[in-house]
Amino acid sequence: MSANRYVLLVVHTGRAEAIAAAAEACVGLSSAGITPVMTGGDLLECAKHVSPVWAQVRELDVAGLVSAGEAIAAGDLELVMVLGGDGTILKAAELVREQQVPLLGVNLGRVGFLAEVEREDLTETVRRIVAFDYIVKERLTLDVAVVVKGKETYRSWALNEATVEKSARERMLEVVIEIDRRPLSSFGCDGIVMSTPTGSTAYSFSAGGPVVWPSVEALLLTPLSAHALFARPMVVNPNSLMAVEVMRSSAGTGVLWCDGRRTHELPPGARVEVRRSQKPVRIARLHDAPFTDRLVKKFALPVVGWRGPERNPEPYQN
Residues 127 and 155 occupy one common structural domain: no
The span from the CA of 309 to the CA of 206, in Å, is 33
Q: How many domains does the chain have?
A: 2
The span from the CA of 132 to the CA of 5, in Å, is 11
List, in sequence order, every beta strand (DSSP E) within 79-218. 79-84, 103-107, 117-118, 135-139, 142-148, 151-158, 161-166, 173-179, 182-189, 191-195
Where does the chain have alpha helices with state H? 16-31, 40-47, 86-95, 122-130, 203-206, 291-299
Residues 115 and 150 occupy one common structural domain: no
Q: Which of 100, 133, 166 lies at the terminal end of a domain, its last residue?
A: 133
Would you give per-residue pLDDT tens digits along the chain (318 residues)? Answer: 457 899 999 999 999 999 999 999 999 999 999 999 999 999 999 999 988 999 989 999 876 544 444 678 888 999 999 999 999 999 999 999 999 999 999 988 776 788 878 888 999 999 999 999 999 999 999 999 999 999 999 999 999 999 999 988 878 899 999 999 999 999 999 999 999 999 999 999 999 999 999 999 999 999 999 998 888 999 999 999 999 999 988 777 899 999 999 999 999 999 999 999 999 999 999 988 889 988 898 888 999 888 887 665 554 444
Active site residues: 86
Count CB atoms within 10 A of the CB of residue 108.
24
Domain span including residue 91: 6-133
Q: Give the list of residues 6+ apart from residue 29 with CB closer than 8 angstroms, or none.
A: 7, 35, 36, 126, 129, 130
* CATH number for position 47: 3.40.50.10330
Put simply, whether the predicted model's pTM sits higher than 0.95 gets the answer no
Amino acid at 114: L
Residues 120 and 157 occupy one common structural domain: no
Amino acid at 295: L
CB 162 within 8 A of CB 219: no
Residues 12 and 125 occupy one common structural domain: yes
Residues 79 and 170 occupy one common structural domain: no
Q: Rounded to a whole number, what is the distance in angstroms from the first to the last CA of the chain? A: 30
Q: Which of 133, 153, 170 lies at the terminal end of a domain, its last residue?
A: 133
The span from the CA of 270 to the CA of 254, in Å, is 9
CB 219 within 8 A of CB 276: yes
Q: Give the list of residues 6+ apart from residue 295 with CB closer than 8 angstroms, or none.
A: 201, 211, 301
For residue 255, the surrounding DSSP H or E stretch is strand 254-258
Could you tell me which residues are beta bridge partners of residue 146? 154, 272
